[in-house]
Amino acid sequence: MHRAPAAALLTIAVLATAGCVGPLKDFSLGTNCNTAVNTWQGMQVDLTSVLLFEGGPYDVTVSVPAAEATVATQIAGNSLDPLVVLLDVDLDRHPVTVNVEVTSPDGFTYEAADTVTPLASSPKSRACTGTTYWAGLQAQPDGQLIPLAWGEPARDAQGRVSVVVDSQCGVGAFYLEDGTTFVRVEGVLDDGTGGPPKGWASPVQRGWVDPSEDMPVFEDERGHREVFRPWLPGDTQITCAA
């Protein structure tokens, strides 16, 4: 079984959550300014660095009081879904206060409140006029909301990014947001019968890697530590038998 790269999943989530996909004729002609062809306006809050991957599900509320805009949603920690919340809000160049609240049934709580300045984004279609604004934010453990550039992954204090490892047919591969594939150096790690090893979540296990390393080391909250290398033609770790 081949999985979609994380970048593709994030793009799908952005379009679906923000309601950005208009009629096909609008999309192809570039008449809808809220499409990937042009720009997306609103706010994105990445919670990857503050959530426990083994916790949840998390009830998340993000609000911009000055714009009377609020979104309440639920996200899971250990899943393929990006740990990101999108708020469709009309922003301009003026700073706004953003509030973030997170709770879960297992007692986890997180709160953040910060003032951020939206960034201008230029339309990429002749059909779009004016200037749109958006704010990409990364939630920090100390309650700050720091700027996060569009398309950039959230990083932990060690500079690592979060990835999810395929595990339902054994620990075999993970993907970076740009689609780069890495496979386990020592081959697929399974339970001897083609299933996930004991102590691994299935179908995926979320953890952290340093993408700048030639041989990234995957570590998670369950104490696993596995070494990976770039995928080469002929590698079978990304294939799951039916």
Number of domains in the chain: 2
Q: Are residues 120 and 170 in the same domain?
A: no
Q: Are residues 49 and 137 in the same domain?
A: yes
Whether the pLDDT of residue 127 is over 60: the answer is no
Look up residue 10 and give its DSSP letter. Answer: H
Query: DSSP string spanning 188-213?
Result: -B--SSSSPPTT--SSEEEEEE-TTS
Q: Are residues 135 and 205 in the same domain?
A: no
Tell me the two tokens of residue 46.
């990445």
Q: Are residues 121 and 87 in the same domain?
A: yes
Q: Are residues 72 and 127 in the same domain?
A: yes
Output the pLDDT for position 38.
43
- CATH number of the domain where residue 117 is located: 2.60.40
Q: Are residues 140 and 223 in the same domain?
A: no
> How many whole angstroms from its chain centre is CA 212?
19
Look up residue 15 and give its DSSP letter. Answer: H
Averaged confidence pLDDT in the chain: 81
How confident is the model over 32-71, as pLDDT tens digits? Answer: 454 443 456 789 999 999 999 999 999 999 999 999 999 9
Q: Are residues 140 and 53 in the same domain?
A: yes
Q: Are residues 115 and 196 in the same domain?
A: no
Residue 141 inside a domain? The answer is yes
In angstroms, the CA 137 to CA 114 distance is 10
Q: Which domain holds residue 201?
A: 161-230
Nearest partner of 180 among 48, 6, 2, judged by Cα:
6
How confident is the model over 160-200, as pLDDT tens digits? Answer: 999 999 899 999 999 998 889 999 999 999 999 988 999 99
